[in-house]
Chains A and B, each alone.
Chain A
Amino acid sequence: MPATAMNTRGKQVLLDFPALATLKEYDRKSIDGLVKLVEGCAQYNDRVARPAALELDQRLERDPDYFDWDLMKEACKYRLFSLVIPKTIGGLTDKYLVTGMSLAVEELCSASGGIGLAIGAHSLGVAPLLTSGAMAHWDTVLHEIIEEEKKGNPVMMAYAITEPSAGTDVEQPEFLNIAKIGMEAKKVKGGYVLNGRKCFISGGSEAKYITLTASTDRNRPLETWTTFLIDRDMEGFSVPRVELKMGQRACHAAELLFEDVFVPNSHVLGYEGDGMANGILFVMACSRGPVGAIATGIARGAYEHFLAWARTRRNGKKPIEEDRIRMALADMDSAIQENRGVYLAHSLAADVIFRHAFTHPIFKAAFLVPRPVRAFKPYAAVLNSYYGKALVNSLFRFFMSDEAVNDVLSKASLAKFTCADNSMALTSRALELMGVDDSEERRWVEMFYRDAKLTQIYEGTNQLNRLVVYNIDMEKRQAMEVPRPFKRGVR
């Protein structure tokens, strides 16, 4: 694989994504920031991820509990844990949060789907903190992530949605009320008591903070679906098991067990009942595009290694000398371009609605208040009160209308299943053309083939995502009516 990727990647980004080259004419600073981010990821791949990927994948089959913290520590140098944190709070960018995320995970996954997922799953865990408008925690949790990242200590998060008997069901409002939900958050004085299990939680075993969705009344899950912030030190929380996956092993899929875990009211993100509208749907609208980018990165990894294979002489002949191989390479290139088209379209669309909120003067003004004041308990308590959260949420929702969120969700779902299917087809075809041989490249493409399958499954199966696109684009049906703050229990 090209060892020179590091130097050339930056220039290549603008060629690979002409839309960004166009945007650069209007906003040089932001686009340069994105290019720099991708360059950093390419450098991380060359230095850290690619040399470790194959061996790590093999090792994790024998020893699924192993987690390579060194990889994550190295990632701190490139600030990969603040990808989706707005600049106002201390992150990388204000204007291109989702686009930056997508470009970064594509780059990372081209070396290893698992390592890319570990970074991506962390950002997925951060997302509900932002979308729910839980400002009080931005100064604590997000600040901690950024500060520790500077010191080289990864503080990771995860988003726990899937339950053992409900995966797709809990990601879609139509199905949530008929889902078999096992987890319940029971209201008690001063907070909630959580009981139940979550499964297949990417990064759940390493996360220090977990954003989790659960219903406070299992008979009316949709109306009471609520996002909680879990600290892994909370009493009663445990990780009984880490799954052995077919691919993307560098990021654990963990089972989380909650036994009478007390979560104080202050750790409710948003307000009770908005876990679907301001939580899952909002987050999925931002994250399914990057999942498409993960799939694209995996496809690109397979393509790059296939190309390297085709250029190697075997039995006195280079496969690339044959027309059929060249045509296949052209097809692969085409699939990757198509993927980039759809996921970038989604990412830019998502940023359009996000950007207004995160760059708005009112929002920025809130962060002009000096940190000590913000950390002052009564101030945080006001922000964290029902009315404080509702105020922030109203501000958010002023810029992000239901229509806009729905539109982005549809684009995101489309990008997700298109990219995942293309990626699966591409990796499968690459292997089919290579056949079995003793080359290192075959092992790489096999790894990407195994990695690719997961992209068709997580973040809602491809079948569900197709239905989402139909519902929103063709039926013009709202994914869900968003409950307004200040009107508790409207539904």
Chain B
Amino acid sequence: MMRIQSIIEDQEYRFLRETAAAYAAKELGPRAEELDLNPEASALKEIASRAGEMGLLAALIPEEKGGGGLDDYAFCAALEEIAVHEAGVAASLLIHNAALYPLALNASEAPVSDSFPACLAYPGKVSLSGGKVEGNVPFAFNAGGCQMITVLPSNHGGAVAALLEAAEGVEIKLDPYPMGLRITQPGSINFKSAESSQIISETNLTGSVSRILLLGFASIAVGIIRNSLGKAYDYARERYQAGKMIIEHQQLRIFMAEMIAAIEQARSVVKSACDTEDIGAAVAGWLLATEKAVKAATDGVQIHGGYGYMRDYGMERLMRDAKYCQMYPLTSQEALLRLFDLYEKE
């Protein structure tokens, strides 16, 4: 896999990147197609248990509370490295950590240990009254086989409640046919006066959680671009067409150069967005990175020609995964409108 290491990072980040990359290359790379075709919670759990050794199952929770204690950028860097091999697992880890994130901010006791995969019921219309949760979330990742659901109710000062999957009144309907990020087993969740097991926070955390989601999906998008570039580059060196290897064809060089440029651009916005608490920066990074990822994956398929369209080369999966990064947690125009709202408020 080709690497582009343009960002100057501290030693600890670099070390984390290497560990995550080694893990992903060994555990995920060879199984990526299988995970996409047969998404099963058990397979995901088995794979993720090894991610736990890197602290990725409670990455954002401080070490003193028993978490991984990673900062935002470290977490994003790890997600990027994992997404280079399998974006779905990276997305699953992201959603899991975003669902636990409120715990990091508030709760004293965290039900961290055995909660993977945790599901984040967001976005949707959910309300909380008297410890009962009502509402509907049309699409949430990690819905299949989830151990815990974090809800971000719109009323009640935006408090956060954690629910167990088995709780009465929680109805999960798995999406019969999601296009991308399949190992996350997305689905819709219906709450009918479901009992909340724990009220984590009385303050509105929607902003902080969606910031993590945006940064995470932007990083996953960077991983997808890197994977597209790597696959396209490898293929272009082997495939002969019109008297030369296709890597010699100008248009394809431009396609790949655009991917290189996109990696640089997206990484630097993600890095600067991690350094600030500003949600606007995260929105901007997510918009850029996901758009570039969709283009990179589509171009990657084009470079592969007919082979790119077939499952065997693993290229079309990237195209499907990349599109989902662009569609969650909100649509790009909604994101733009939110960005402008923020600007207007200031």
Contact = CB atoms under 8 A, between A and B. Distances in A.
A463 B251 contact: yes
Nearest to B323: A431
A180 B240 CA distance: 8
B333 A246 contact: no
Contacts of A315: 125
B331 A433 contact: yes
B88 to A, nearest CB: 14
Given A431-B327, A432-B331, A438-B138, A169 B241 contact: yes
Contact of B306 (A167, A324, A449): A167
Nearest to A166: B241
Contacts of B305: 167-168, 457, 461
Contact of B309 (A61, A169, A245): A245
B228 interface: no
Contacts of A428: 294, 298, 323
Contact of A58 (B177, B311, B326): B177
Given A424-B298, A436-B327, A463-B251, A450 B179 contact: yes
Nearest to A315: B125
A453 B319 contact: yes
Interface residues of B, number: 43
Interface string A438-453: 1100010010011001
Interface string A193-209: 00000011000000000
Nearest to B331: A435
A246 B316 contact: yes
Contacts of B324: 436
A253 interface: yes
Contacts of B331: 432-435
A54 B252 CA distance: 34
Contacts of B241: 166-169, 175
A437 interface: yes
A459 B311 CA distance: 20
B43 interface: no
Contacts of A435: 139, 327-328, 330-331, 334
Contacts of A168: 241-242, 305
A461 B323 CA distance: 22
A245 B179 CA distance: 13
B140 to A, nearest CB: 9
Contacts of B139: 435-438
A456 interface: yes
Contacts, number: 113
B185 to A, nearest CB: 13
B282 interface: no
B258 interface: no
Contact of A437 (B138, B176, B177, B240): B138
A401 interface: no
B76 to A, nearest CB: 21
Interface in B296-331: 298, 301-302, 305-306, 308-312, 316, 319-320, 323-324, 326-328, 330-331
Given A246-B316, A438-B188, A461-B302, A432 B327 contact: yes
A6 to B, nearest CB: 27
B309 A453 contact: yes
A458 interface: yes
A165 interface: yes
A166 B323 CA distance: 30
A454 interface: yes
A201 to B, nearest CB: 11
Nearest to B308: A457
11 contacts: A167-B306, A168-B242, A246-B316, A424-B298, A435-B331, A436-B138, A436-B139, A436-B324, A446-B179, A453-B309, A461-B302
Given A175-B243, A253-B310, A432-B332, 15 more contacts: A162-B306, A169-B242, A178-B243, A245-B309, A246-B310, A246-B319, A437-B139, A438-B187, A439-B138, A449-B323, A453-B309, A456-B302, A457-B301, A461-B305, A462-B302
Interface of A: 54, 58, 61, 162, 165-169, 174-175, 178, 180, 199-200, 243-247, 253, 314-315, 324, 424, 428, 431-439, 443, 446, 449-450, 453-454, 456-458, 461-463
Q: Closest 4 CB pairs between A and B? A: A246-B316, A435-B331, A438-B188, A436-B139
